[in-house]
Amino acid sequence: MPEGPSIVILREAASVFAGECVREVGGNSRLDLARMQGLRIHAVRSWGKHFLLQFEDFSLRVHLMLFGSYRIDERKDTAARLSLRFDNGELNLYACSLKYIEDDLDLAYDWSGDVMSDAWSPRAARLKLKDHPTMRVCDALLQQSIFAGVGNIIKNEVLFRIRLHPESSVGALPPRKLTELIREARNYSFDFLAWKKTFVLKKHWLVYTKSVCPRCRIPLHRAHLGITHRRSFYCGRCQIRHDG
């Protein structure tokens, strides 16, 4: 599943279509795609894992889910879920979820919760976390209402970076460790973005899909943890567990 930084890359690439009129619409989605025909895109935006095309009276939300992908000015052999053609190119989206948002995007989204946004608020994240003292940190990082854009790769790498066991409970974290968690969720997301743009992301993975702790040189634990049962890779020695 593409994480927030990958959606930022999509947003930046698709920004060439902001201000352009949709000349032709196609795709196999059950959504009323013809609604976009002839309309002008006012803005290309993103929030967390959501890619957003804003029209005058509504917006299109695109979620790439687990296996979604996109092509700009080229096509895959498989059928597109949505194809939009403009005077200056085309945008093709595959295996994704599409939904119209009728509300103003500033009402529909809490931009302070997007780790990649200029409006990101560490204070707001802290207050949200304090409302869930029994939540495990492996679940908290994946909670999009708190850390929009953070996915499983970022989760694993952030927890290793700050030496925190994934099953630690939020309420048991010392204040400084909570600050680290919030700070590094954003920091690592921007590192992810830079590495992804230069095609070296996997070279920087320290624990994700790895077998040995690069600090302790002992085998890493692998388990499906938390309420989402997402894969976790962690060191039983240097990642400290905090329980309430």
3-state class percentages of the chain: helix first, strand second, coil last, to nearest 5: 30, 25, 45
Query: What pLDDT does residue 172 have?
Result: 97
- Provide the percentage of residues in the chain whose pLDDT is more than 90: 98
Whether 244 shows a pLDDT value over 90: the answer reads no
Whether 211 shows a pLDDT value over 80: the answer reads yes
Residue in the block written with tokens 């204040």 = 175
Residue type for position 237: R
Query: What pLDDT does residue 66 have?
Result: 87
Could you report the per-residue pLDDT of 80-121, keeping only the tens digit for each? 999 999 999 999 999 999 999 999 999 999 999 999 999 999
Could you report the per-residue pLDDT of 137-192, keeping only the tens digit for each? 999 999 999 999 999 999 999 999 999 999 999 999 999 999 999 999 999 999 99
Could you report the per-residue pLDDT of 113-150, keeping only the tens digit for each? 999 999 999 999 999 999 999 999 999 999 999 999 99
Whether 1 shows a pLDDT value over 80: the answer reads no
Taking alpha carbons only, the member of 32, 50, 53, 33 closest to residue 41 is 53
Virtual torsion, Cα 106, 107, 108, 112, nearest 10 deg: 60
Query: What pLDDT does residue 157 have?
Result: 98
Whether 2 shows a pLDDT value over 90: the answer reads no
Give dist(CA 158, CA 184) in Å, integer. Answer: 6
Taking alpha carbons only, the member of 140, 24, 15, 117 closest to residue 72 is 15
Work out the average pLDDT over 186-215.
Answer: 98
Give dist(CA 224, CA 120) in Å, integer. Answer: 29
Contact indicator for 137, 173 with CB cutoff of 8 Å: yes
- Reduced to 3 states, what is the DSSP secondary structure of residue 62? strand
In the chain, beta strands by DSSP E? 24-26, 43-47, 50-54, 59-63, 69-72, 82-86, 89-94, 97-101, 221-225, 230-234
**Exposed (0-12), middle (13-18) or buried (19+): which is 66, by Cβ within 10 Å?**
exposed
DSSP H helices in 85-229 = 105-108, 122-130, 137-140, 152-161, 175-197
Whether 239 shows a pLDDT value over 80: the answer reads yes
Could you report the per-residue pLDDT of 4-33, keeping only the tens digit for each? 999 999 999 999 999 999 999 999 999 999
Whether 52 shows a pLDDT value over 90: the answer reads yes
Residue in the block written with tokens 């590192």 = 191
The first and second tokens of residue 160, run together, are 């290793």
- Reduced to 3 states, what is the DSSP secondary structure of residue 76? coil
